[in-house]
Amino acid sequence: MFIGHFAAGLATKKINASLSLALMFIAVQFLDILWPVLVLLGIETVGIEEGITKLTPLDFTFYPYSHSLLMAIVWGLLFGLVYYIVTKKRQNALILGALVVSHWFLDLVVHRPDLPLSPFSNYKVGLGLWNYPFAEILIEFALFFAGTYFYFTSKKPKKKIAFWSLIGFLLIVQLLNFYGPLPPDANSIAWGANLIWVFILWAWWVEREKPANTSASR
């Protein structure tokens, strides 16, 4: 799941238009932000196994700290708590924490049974929608279009070109994930995964407003 996670961030604008899209993108992708760092540090591992699922060749061999249910909840609590300490906005903190945890449940739908419940057990789950390309693409793209619709109808972006090019670029990267060339090794997957920050910065740029011009009042 890639654009499906971003869809959750976009759609949440409908619930609370004051939350920044960039921050919501960080929340929905928090586990995938941690993951490449942990892989590059050698703490978690990933392999490439062509055909392991029909849509992705990634073999998630060991990632209990970024992608177990227990740790997803822990990261969600921490994320919400830090936000609350900084801003004192309780409802926003709850929403952001829930978005962090949402990542695990969306991954649950598409991954084969490789998602651990906790770092302390070998029990792994996954419903394996990646093995049903037609249904997967239909559902994930539908989620994404719904998220885009909810965002667009809650906060008409002023920078229209920046917004629609972000949406278009996310779609292209999703298709490249599915149908692009196989990555050569685990390290290049992890380096590539860090590019998620491009979308976060892009979202920040879409919503950034020019500071009000105060020269008139002087």
CA distances from 166 to 90, 158, 206 (A): 29, 14, 9
Spatial contact of 99 and 80, defined as CB atoms under 8 Å apart: no
CA distances from 145 to 140, 150, 167, 205, 206 (A): 9, 9, 9, 21, 18
Scan residues 12-31 and list those touching Zn ion (CB under 5 A).
31
- Compute the distance between CA of residue 20 and CA of residue 137 in angstroms, rounded to an integer: 27
Per-residue contact track with Zn ion, 74 to 113, x per CB under 5 A?
---------------------------------x------
Q: What minimum distance in Å lies between the beta carbon of 38 and Zn ion?
A: 12
- From candidates 21, 28, 30, 32, binder to Zn ion by CB under 5 A: 32
| CB of 21 or CB of 31, closer to Zn ion | 31
Pairing of strands 115-116, 58-62: unpaired
Q: What minimum distance in Å lies between the beta carbon of 168 and Zn ion?
A: 23
Q: What minimum distance in Å lies between the beta carbon of 176 and Zn ion?
A: 17
Q: What minimum distance in Å lies between the beta carbon of 192 and Zn ion?
A: 14
Joined tokens for residue 14: 């409908």
Total chain residues near Zn ion (CB under 5 A):
3
Spatial contact of 143 and 102, defined as CB atoms under 8 Å apart: no
114 binds Zn ion (CB under 5 A): no
- Compute the distance between CA of residue 193 and CA of residue 173 in angstroms, rounded to an integer: 11
| CB of 32 or CB of 140, closer to Zn ion | 32
Q: Hunting for tokens 């298709």 — which residue is that? A: 175
| CB of 32 or CB of 136, closer to Zn ion | 32
- Compute the distance between CA of residue 44 and CA of residue 39 in angstroms, rounded to an integer: 5
Q: What minimum distance in Å lies between the beta carbon of 22 and Zn ion?
A: 19
Using CB under 5 A, list all residues that contact Zn ion. 31-32, 107
